[in-house]
Amino acid sequence: MKYFFLFAFLLSSPAAADTLIASRTIRSQAIIRTGDVTVVKDEVPGALSSIDAVLGMEARVILYAGRPIRRGDVGPPALVERNQIVTLRYATGGLSITAEARALDRAGVGDRLRVMNLASRTTVTGHVSSAGEVIASPAH
């Protein structure tokens, strides 16, 4: 009987979880470094819990001191700046087409980015490669 009460007590006590918070206010587009974030024993739905998940990432919004950091608040550092001229590459099967395009926003590796093809003035969406190219692919 005493094991039942111990088991019931363990089930009723809240489980501690880690939450990542900003140690200081971090401005948008700043790269997050070791002293910028702290882990606290608290459970905030949607908040990140690992310092390693954000080190070297770029703040996408202003991160206020003491507030939890969510997945959408950080991302890879921007490789392409707004209005930058980039190579737009479209490849399918044996066909490969390249063109110059203007970036319509900032983006990091793997991010979706809208660009305007300079020759046709058409807006295309693709993913940023590690080489800084925008790779457009056929719709599936």
Q: What is the mean pLDDT of the chain?
A: 87
Query: Is 52:33 a contact under the CB 8 Å cutoff?
Result: no
Q: Which architecture does CATH list for 2-75? A: Alpha-Beta Complex (3.90)
Domain map (residue ranges) of the chain: 2-75, 78-136
Residues 32-60: tens digit of each pLDDT: 999 999 999 988 888 998 899 899 999 99
Q: What confidence score (pLDDT) does residue 13 get?
A: 46
Please list the residues that pair with 31 across neighbouring strands: 58
Burial 56-88 (b: 16+ CB within 10 A, else e): ebbbbeebeeeebbbeebbbbebbbeeeeebeb
What is the fold, at CATH topology level, of the domain defined by 78-136? SH3 type barrels. (2.30.30)
Structure token digits, residue 88: 């737009």
What are the pLDDT digits (tens) for 6-32? 444 444 445 557 899 999 999 999 999
